[in-house]
Amino acid sequence: MATETLNPTQLHLLKMFSFCKTKSALESIKKALMKYYAEQIDKEMDALWASGEMNDAKQEEFKNGHFRTPYKQ
């Protein structure tokens, strides 16, 4: 089994989590991280729409498509 080194972000978060002593503190951290990633997703989606890579037809395709990886037997 190969071991992986933690990246600087993971190390920083681990250090920060050592100060998280309550359930409410954990919830606040979770909300902050979710907000950050939601903002990043919004920026990426705006860029895809602006570049033309995303459009109404592709959005409909995603809405109605089945994109699961088939199971191997």
67: confidence class by pLDDT, cuts 50, 70, 90 = confident
Domain count, the chain: 1
CA angle, 69 as apex, 67 and 70 as ends, to 5°?
115
Six token digits for residue 46 = 């705006």
Q: Rounded to an integer, what distance in angstroms lies between the CA atom of residue 47 and that of residue 60?
A: 18
Q: Residue 11 in contact with residue 19, Cβ under 8 Å?
A: no
Whether 44 is in a domain gets the answer yes
Task: Note the pLDDT tens digit of each residue in 1-55.
Answer: 677 899 999 999 899 888 889 999 999 999 999 999 999 999 999 999 999 999 9
- Report the predicted TM-score, pTM, of the whole model to 2 decimal places: 0.67
Whether 57 is in a domain gets the answer yes
pLDDT at 73 over 80: no
